[in-house]
Amino acid sequence: MAPQQNWFHPRGALARDGWESVVDDSLEGWQHTGIRVGALTEGRSLGFEGVDVERMIVPLSGDVHVEYVTSEGSHGSLDLAGRASVFDGPPDVAYTGVGTSVALTGTGRVAVAEAPATEALDVQVLRKADIPVEIRGAGRSTRQVHNYGTPAGLRAQKLIVCEVITPAENWSSYPAHKHDESVPGHESKLEEIYYFESAVSRGVTAPLEADPFGMFATYSSPAGQIDINALVRTGDIALVPFGYHGPAVAAPGYDLYYLNVMAGPDPERVWNISDDPAHGWVRAEWESQEPDPRLPYTETPKEASR
């Protein structure tokens, strides 16, 4: 049997062109989605050319200034209000269409979700105050979802983007599910990227040697063989071309975050999934459980001045 493709990449393993990580169709077996993750520092910019790709700019920490030139040659700029960390509620986000080149400046970290596309849509900005915060699941399966790049919240051709916060000891991306077959009205065919961050849980005091982590798993479906069973830390990336994926588990003492980027060949931009039949019954159990009272995580209040 031929060795399986490597679908898990530790932080920095995909470094390129000044970015900490770059996922695109230059990776074998990958064609419908992409992501760039990088650090912004004073006096240094990150950018990308206006090719046949639509994108969403997501501040991970700090504010981001965006300068852009559209496919029609129009120049523009905008400022995205960020956050202290990915555990401090949603940031402002921006969408740029096919053919738009961009330069990013600021201080902090930024992610850019990508999907090859053909329609040149207008630049869009979603402000943090307008982004709905969804509490999904219940009990130890409670998680917080920011659906700013989904079909209901963003006009795009292919790109679907959301982010998930899972507090310590909770499970998310569960029950394990898949979206690797085109079954209209039931299941979509979508590649998916998981970009992870982890931190000491909110309100917890930890020693300096603390090493925040979570766990993430995938396994095979009829569409293909895949096997990820990994400890995940800040900056790690998992690619899911097919197969069942989940759970993502936050270890005791540590909160877990992931940014999801999805797109695929289907004509309809929709996220339809199929649960693993062995585990889908768990969803019904949530009806008798209360959501985790620790959520939602919003902006951490600043300490009062002394």
**Does residue 66 sit within a domain?**
yes
> pLDDT of 120-163, one tens digit each?
999 999 999 999 899 999 999 999 999 999 999 899 999 999 99
- d(CA 71, CA 120) in angstroms, rounded, equals 7
pLDDT at residue 305 is higher than 50: no
What is the CATH classification number for the domain harbouring 181? 2.60.120.10
What confidence tier does 302 reach under pLDDT thresholds 50, 70, 90? low
Q: Which two tokens stand for residue 199?
A: 């931190």
pLDDT at residue number 59: 98
**Does residue 107 sit within a domain?**
yes
Average pLDDT value for residue range 179-198: 97
**Does residue 263 sit within a domain?**
yes
Average pLDDT value for residue range 41-52: 93
**Does residue 52 sit within a domain?**
yes
**Does residue 3 sit within a domain?**
no
pLDDT at residue number 304: 36
pLDDT at residue number 4: 54
Which residues, 6 or more positions from 210, have their beta carbon under 8 angstroms from its beta carbon? 200, 253, 254
Q: Whole-prediction pTM value?
A: 0.96
**Does residue 279 sit within a domain?**
yes
pLDDT at residue number 1: 36
Reduce the DSSP state of residue 287 to 3 states and report it. helix
**Does residue 292 sit within a domain?**
no
Residue 80 to residues 215, 239, 288, 295: CA-CA distances in angstroms?
31, 27, 40, 24
The region that residue 94 occupies, defined by phi over 0 for left and psi between -120 and 50 for alpha, beta otherwise, is beta
**Percentage above 70 pLDDT, the chain:** 97
**Does residue 297 sit within a domain?**
no
Overall number of domains in the chain: 1
What confidence tier does 236 reach under pLDDT thresholds 50, 70, 90? very high
The gap from C-alpha 257 to its chain's centroid, in whole angstroms, comes to 8
pLDDT at residue number 114: 98
What range defines the domain where residue 158 resides?
Answer: 8-287
pLDDT at residue number 2: 40
pLDDT averaged over every residue in the chain: 95
> pLDDT of 191-213, one tens digit each?
999 999 999 999 999 999 999 99
Residue 202 to residues 8, 107, 188, 236, 298: CA-CA distances in angstroms?
27, 23, 35, 21, 11
